[in-house]
Chain A
Amino acid sequence: MAAADGHMESSCSSVKEDPPARGKHRTVALKLASLHSTFNRMKMGICKFCLNSYLLLFSIGNFLLQTLLAKLLHCSAELLVLCLHVSRCTLPKDDPQVVCGRKDLFLALAGLFSMGRSYIVEDDVEGYLSRLCSQLAGPVTGLLIGQSMVQRDFVVMATRTPQNNESSDGGKSVDKEWVSEHARQVSRMLPGGLSVLGVFLISESDAKETLTTLRQLVFSVENLISSERLWTPADDDVTDCVTLHVNPKTRKTVCRTFDVKDPKSMAKPADWKYQSGVCSSWATVSCCLSVDLMVPLPENMAFTRNMGDCLKGELKVWAQQIERGVCLIEGRKLPEDSELKAGQKKNVRQTISAQLLITPDVQTAADVVQRCGGCVSVSGAIHSRAFLHSNKPKAKLAEKLLKRDIVSTVATRVQMLLEEPQTQNEENKGRKQTEQFCLPRRVFCPVKSTGPLSVCDYQFSDEGLSEMTDRFKEMLDMDAAEEDLDATQEMIAEVIESEVTEGVAMATAVALLALAASIVYLSDV
């Protein structure tokens, strides 16, 4: 019985781990080989040491690597990754087929081979994960937050999944739905440019089990978050999500990615590197935008559910209007590939102002006047913000991230309002009825005391800033004080219902500053 004649080198790059010795790989290969009674077939397996999948070719005598290459060119990227893993083996030099083919093979593979993603992680995250390892017993899950670019990814913070007081086993096992729900809520608290990049798991379980768990978590999280999205993903968006496994005893970390667009995707190794100052060098692009939507309610009253659906439909149309809008950076329409002035200094705060010009959709309904059961309107303005890692950010990217934030912040608030009990009041007395509700206003909280990055939350008119700090603690495990919060960008409108004129009830909104009780620290964002 012949075995794969190879020393498999590890191509995984978890910084905390020593590269496994070649000899170990050989043993594994032999062990696997002994389990198989068939030859000349490609087999998939998992290396116990680096937890990478590899491709094992059984053949009598030598590697038929050229055949491998030919076959693999039709395969997915994951398999190509594995192929290089295999091809680093020492090949019998006297094999004529292999010798003459090898250089071409390497070049071809190098071209096709995707080296896996590279995550640059804020130093503080290391400390945070470390503390979680020592503090808590049982498996700990959490989210990794940052920005994913085509070239590389930045992780700016990590946050553990909050305790689930209603969980059946007291939190001993990992609750997929709970983690996903946490991710959905955290996702609403991230301004443009920042998103939930993946999950981490601190547990002592073995490799195989954690891989399955992480895989399930990451797909579940991504599915839930994307189901709420109103903006359409772009073709050049990164679809890889990261999973990080930390063993609390050994502190060994393993980082892998999954392509969430492909339900059958396999884990790909990824780099995980800690660096200081990851939270500092970001550019901020922001604007304040007027929102004016009006949508009819259907004739038969089925209330809140209908109002929610109607609004969602209108928001989708409005989202397309925003996506189509012309974006001006610093007052000008820049060519897509132009780079924004990115300061090289890490500590210089950079805010880029943006403007958005829109045109209404052309209505194509046959009847200009249609019966309805009333209407819902959303009127006011919002503050939108997006962050770009300022390694020469492109105008096109700034526009994309800002537009997404605009759509998300309005959709989130409408959704939050619909979830409030008072909007679900069913009473309809048959006469004309007008009600007004304030959408919550956006309040920002800096991620670090220095640096431009911030997260956000939404404050209803009956909430105080202390409720916000509580939520920042619960959702993002952030210890923020009320003074740190920036509530100056938006003001809660107070509703005064003026005379109900025929046709449209005009509400005059008078802006009030936030509740006097809270002390607002004016930051210079």
Chain B
Amino acid sequence: ILADSESAVILRLRGPLDLKCLLDSIDVVPMQKAISRTFEALRLQVKSESCVLAVCNSPVLIWPNKSVFEEISPDAPCEDIFQFIQTDDQETSGNRSAKKKNKKRVSASVINLSLMMEATKPGPVSAPILTRTVQKSHLLCATLPMDCAIWSSCSDTIKDGCERLMKALTRQLFEMEKVTLQCMKGTTLLIPEPLHFLLPEPNGLVTVVFPSGVPDKELEAQRQELHGQFELPDNKPFFRRANTYHFPNEPYKDGYLRNPHTVLTHPTLDNGKVYLVQGIYSYHHYMQDRMDDNGWGCAYRSLQTICSWFQQQGYVERGVPSHKEIQQALVEVGDKQASFVGSRQWIGSIEVQAVLNHLLGVTSKIMFVSQGSELASKGRELANHFMTEGTPVMIGGGVLAHTILGIAWSETTGEIRYLILDPHYTGAEDLPVITEKGWCGWKGPDFWDQTAYYNLCLPQRPRVI
């Protein structure tokens, strides 16, 4: 995905900051002034000598405004911090052998830092004063969830990295102030929330502050502005909540594997190019979610994989539908009788198209081949699909359904390979098993039943931001 991912280190600083002030008046202007003053005080606080950055799971402590570095030298490269970090031994399933098998580094490494304040200071000190203000007023009390991330290359020293982090922190406070004031309505205040997005080069990792709790559809104007600012195409979402960057080694809470195909080595064909699904999907297959659909649910699972793609790219907010929900949708559109719900009847690409339309509002193209051997000639169409739409493709025929995640195709020789995600797998979310046994793998044209006819459902990406 990224050019320099091999040597990159992400420094991520997180920590809460108290936003607290007494509001004499809740008229707009005085309230804005009070809030601005409080933000200014916070900016002074993070510039003060009591600001401390603590590297998580390590004894490394940095006072960035005093240039005090505990345990490490400020001129050392950022990567050196890894030596001090003690991680738990538990790794997400499959990572161990994936590392052995695949030499290329999938993504950058993250150094997590915590923002803390030193409460102690040199003495002698001035004893505390108690101030009591009695007045009918309002108290503003919130916690700002500071979250800054910067991309650092291998030549960056720890000192540089920290300076950039602190600048990002101050900048974030300014942005949070802006968002807070913009979204203020009477006495309702929304807490600003920083989100990270990985944009295509040259932008890279970008942090945007959104008001928390506001759904995506109400933030379209902000997204328009951002698309303009970063010169992004206006028909593809980059700033929806689902598009937030998932930091490497952060586990997904739902337990599904994401993009198992990325650990594979892609085939090289003469004058061939690889065209792949763009974005993130989850692998759905037989027996997941305690649903025993062995033998009949393969198309449902392929459909679930496709739905997961739309959710994770931010096109829809609804979660992946269950078998029942899929069946219910087909009843609702009149495609099936009510008795269909709860049954173990197969579905095909037409039904997949119908459900995608009904539940997700997504249109799909259907491609038909009268025999499996014809699939080899569909290289150009499939290549175009992955280039322009980039969505996973459901293919059903004979008695099986599969998901096509990409193709390797040579325009000159016509050679073709298909990257297949197989929903017939019944085991656990074990990446090495899935990739080694070919449940996610590259297949040749003989993978298809040469005499059976096939229908392909090619979901179209909505042109929205």
Find out whether the CB atom of B127 lies under 8 angstroms from the CB atom of A382: yes
* Chain A nearest Cβ from B19, distance in angstroms: 8
Number of interface residues of B (CB under 8 A): 58
Closest-CB distance, A126 to chain B (whole angstroms): 37
A29 CB → nearest B CB, Å: 61
- The verdict on A434 contacting B120 (CB below 8 Å), with A372-B137, A509-B126 known, is no
Q: Which residues of chain B are within 8 angstroms of A367 by Cβ–Cβ distance?
A: 187
B115 near A493: Cβ-Cβ < 8 Å? no
Query: Within 8 Å CB of B125, what residues of A?
Result: 288, 290, 380-383, 489-491
- Which B-chain residue is minimally distant from A425 (CB atoms)? B132
CA distance A383 to B127 in the complex (A): 9
Q: A288-B120, A326-B54, A502-B33 are in contact. Are A371 and B138 (CB under 8 A)?
A: yes
In this assembly, does A354 line the interface, its C-beta being within 8 Å of a C-beta of chain B? yes
B59 touches A358 (CB 8 A): no
Query: Distance (Å) between the CB of A463 and the closest chain B CB?
Result: 13
Given A369-B139, A373-B135, A502-B34, CB of A358 within 8 Å of CB of B116 = yes
In the bound complex, how far is the Cα of B70 from the Cα of A361, in angstroms?
25
Q: Are B15 and A359 in contact (CB under 8 A)?
A: yes
Whole-angstrom distance from the CB of A501 to the nearest CB of chain B? 8
Interface code A484-525, partner B: CB below 8 Å = 1, 0 otherwise? 000011111101000000111101010100000000000000
Is A207 engaged at the interface, CB distance under 8 Å to the other chain? no
Cα–Cα distance between A226 and B121 once the two chains are bound (Å)? 30
Query: Across the interface, do B189 and A381 meet the contact criterion of CB distance under 8 Å?
Result: no
Q: Does B25 have its Cβ within 8 Å of any Cβ on chain A?
A: yes
Query: What 0/1 readout, one digit per residue, does chain A (356-373) give for beta carbons within 8 Å of chain B?
Result: 111111110101111111
| Interface membership of B17, Cβ < 8 A | yes
Q: Within 8 Å CB of A490, what residues of B?
A: 123-127
Residue of B nearest to A414 (CB): B130
Q: How far is the CB of A499 from chain B (nearest CB, A)?
A: 13
Pairwise interchain contact A360-B143, C-beta atoms closer than 8 A: yes
Tell me the bound Cα distance from A289 to B127 in angstroms.
10
Check if A81 is an interface residue, CB within 8 A of chain B.
no
Q: Are B126 and A383 in contact (CB under 8 A)?
A: no
Q: Which of B30, B119, B131, B190 contacts A505 (CB 8 A)?
A: B131
A331 to B115 CA separation, bound complex (whole angstroms): 17
Question: In whole angstroms, what is the CA distance A493 to B132 when docked?
Answer: 16
Q: Which residues of A contact B124 (CB under 8 A)?
A: 288, 383, 488-491
**Cα distance, A507 to B129, chains bound together (Å):** 9
A274-316: CB near B (< 8 Å → 1, else 0) gives 0000000000000111110010110101000001000000000
Q: State whether A370 and B138 are in contact (beta carbons under 8 Å apart), knowing that A357-B54, A434-B133, A507-B129 are contacts in the complex.
A: yes
Contacts of B37 in A (CB 8 A): 503-504
Given contact pairs A290-B121, A369-B140, A491-B125, A357 touches B116 in the complex (Cβ within 8 A): yes
Query: Which one of A287, A299, A357 lies within 8 Å of B117 (CB-CB)?
Result: A357
Residue-wise interface mask of B (234-261) relative to A, using a CB-CB cutoff of 8 A (1 in contact, 0 not): 0000000000000000000000000000
Query: Is B16 engaged at the interface, CB distance under 8 Å to the other chain?
Result: yes
Q: Is A91 positioned at the interface, with any CB of B under 8 Å from its CB?
A: no
The answer on a CB contact under 8 Å between A380 and B127 is: yes
- Of the candidates B21, B61, B136, the one whose C-beta lies within 8 Å of that of A333 is B61
Q: Which residues in chain A, 424-444, are within 8 Å of chain B measured between CB atoms?
A: 428, 431-442
* Complex interface: chain B residues within 8 A of A382 (CB): 125, 127-128
Q: Which of B16, B139, B190 has the most CB of A within 10 A?
A: B139
Is the contact region of chain A dominated by helix, strand, or loop, or is it mixed?
strand
Q: Report whether A297 and B134 are in contact in the complex, using a CB–CB cutoff of 8 Å.
A: yes
Q: Is the CB of B52 within 8 A of A362?
A: no
Contact B131 A413 (CB under 8 A): no
Decide if A369 touches B23 in the complex (CB within 8 Å).
Answer: yes
How far does the alpha carbon of A296 sit from the alpha carbon of B140 in the complex, in Å? 10
Contact status B20-A502, CB under 8 Å: no
By beta carbon, the residue of chain A nearest B114 is A359
Hey, what's the 0/1 contact readout for B96-120 against A, CB within 8 Å counting as 1? Answer: 0000000000000000001111111
Q: How distant is the Cα of A15 from the Cα of B21 in the complex, in angstroms?
A: 62
Q: A299 and B136: CB pair below 8 A? A: yes
Q: Pick the contact of B132 from A356, A369, A374 — CB < 8 Å?
A: A374
- A residues less than 8 Å from B187 (CB atoms): 367, 369
Contacting residues of chain B (32-80) with chain A, CB-CB under 8 angstroms: 33-34, 37, 50, 52, 54, 59, 61, 70-71
With A373-B136, A374-B134, A374-B135 in contact, is A379–B128 under 8 Å at CB?
Answer: yes
Structural contact, B129 and A504, CB atoms closer than 8 A? no
A439 touches B127 (CB 8 A): yes
Chain A residues, Cβ within 8 Å of B220? none
In the complex, A376→B124 CA distance in Å?
Answer: 25
Q: Chain A residues near B131 (CB, 8 Å)?
A: 376-379, 434-437, 505, 507
Which of B24, B34, B117, B143 meets A361, CB within 8 Å? Answer: B143
Q: Are A363 and B142 in contact (CB under 8 A)?
A: yes
Interface bin, chain A = 35 or more
Residues in B with CB closer than 8 Å to A56 are none
Q: Is A369 a contact of B189 with CB atoms below 8 Å?
A: yes
| Cβ-defined partner of A379 (8 Å) among B70, B123, B129, B191 | B129
A489 to chain B, nearest CB (A): 6
> Considering only CB atoms, which chain B residue lies closest to A442 in the complex?
B127
User: Which residues of chain B have C-beta atoms less than 8 A from A288's C-beta?
Assistant: 120-125
- Determine how close the nearest CB of chain B comes to the CB of A368; give it in whole angstroms: 4
Q: What is the CB-to-nearest-CB distance from B61 to chain A, in angstroms, rounded to a whole number?
A: 7
Question: What 0/1 readout, one digit per residue, does chain B (1-40) give for beta carbons within 8 Å of chain A?
Answer: 0000000000000011110111111100010011001000
- A413 CA / B125 CA spacing, docked (Å): 15
A381–B121 Cα distance when bound, in Å, is 9
Neighbouring A residues of B214 by C-beta, 8 Å? none
Q: Tell me whether B413 is interfacial, beta carbon within 8 Å.
A: no
Please judge, given known A-B contacts A358-B117, A435-B132, A493-B126, whether A296 and B139 are in contact too, CB under 8 Å: yes
**Cα(A269)–Cα(B130), bound, Å:** 47
Does any Cβ of B come within 8 Å of A417's Cβ?
yes
Assess A376 versus B130: contact at CB under 8 Å? Given A287-B120, A503-B34. Answer: yes
Considering the chains assembled together, what is the distance between the CA atoms of A354 and B118 in angstroms?
Answer: 11
Q: Which of B30, B130, B188 contacts A369 (CB 8 A)?
A: B188
A359, A365, A492 — most chain B CB neighbours (10 Å): A359
Complex Cα distance, B124 from A490, in Å, reads 5
Residues of A within 8 A of B61 (CB): 328, 333, 357
Interface pair B129/A495, CB less than 8 Å apart: yes
A139 at the interface (CB under 8 A from B): no
User: What chain A residues lie within 8 Å of B17 (beta carbons)?
Assistant: 360
> Hey, which chain B residues are within 8 Å of A203, CB to CB?
none
Contact B138 A372 (CB under 8 A): yes
Please tell me if the beta carbons of B30 and A503 are within 8 angstroms of each other in the complex: yes
Cβ of A355 within 8 Å of any chain B Cβ, yes or no, is yes
Q: How far is the CB of B187 from chain A (nearest CB, A)?
A: 4
User: Shortest CB–CB separation between residue B169 and chain A, in angstroms?
Assistant: 14
Closest Cβ–Cβ distance, residue A225 to chain B (whole Å): 23
Binary interface encoding of chain B residues 304-341 relative to chain A, with 1 for a CB under 8 A from any of its CBs, else 0? 00000000000000000000000000000000000000
Q: Which residue of B lies closest to A428 (CB)?
A: B134
Q: Which residues of B contact A428 (CB under 8 A)?
A: 134
B221 part of interface (Cβ distance < 8 Å): no
A332, CB-defined interface residue at 8 Å: yes
Q: Find out whether the CB atom of B24 lies under 8 angstroms from the CB atom of A502.
A: yes
Determine which residue in B50, B137, B187, B189 has the highest number of CB atoms from chain A within 10 A of its CB, and name it: B137
List 17 other contacts, CB 8 Å, given A287-B120, A326-B54, A355-B120: A307-B132, A322-B119, A333-B61, A356-B119, A357-B52, A357-B118, A359-B15, A368-B188, A370-B141, A379-B129, A380-B128, A432-B134, A437-B131, A438-B130, A439-B130, A492-B127, A502-B34
User: Which 9 residue pairs spanning A and B have beta carbons closest together?
Assistant: A380-B128, A381-B125, A288-B123, A441-B127, A432-B135, A503-B34, A511-B126, A296-B139, A374-B134
14 chain-A/chain-B pairs, Cβ below 8 angstroms: A359-B115, A368-B189, A373-B135, A374-B135, A376-B131, A376-B133, A377-B130, A381-B121, A417-B130, A439-B129, A490-B124, A492-B127, A493-B127, A495-B129
What is the interface of chain A, defined by CB distance below 8 A to chain B?
A: 287-291, 294, 296-297, 299, 301, 307, 322, 325-326, 328, 331-333, 354-363, 365, 367-383, 410, 413-414, 417, 423, 428, 431-442, 488-493, 495, 502-505, 507, 509, 511
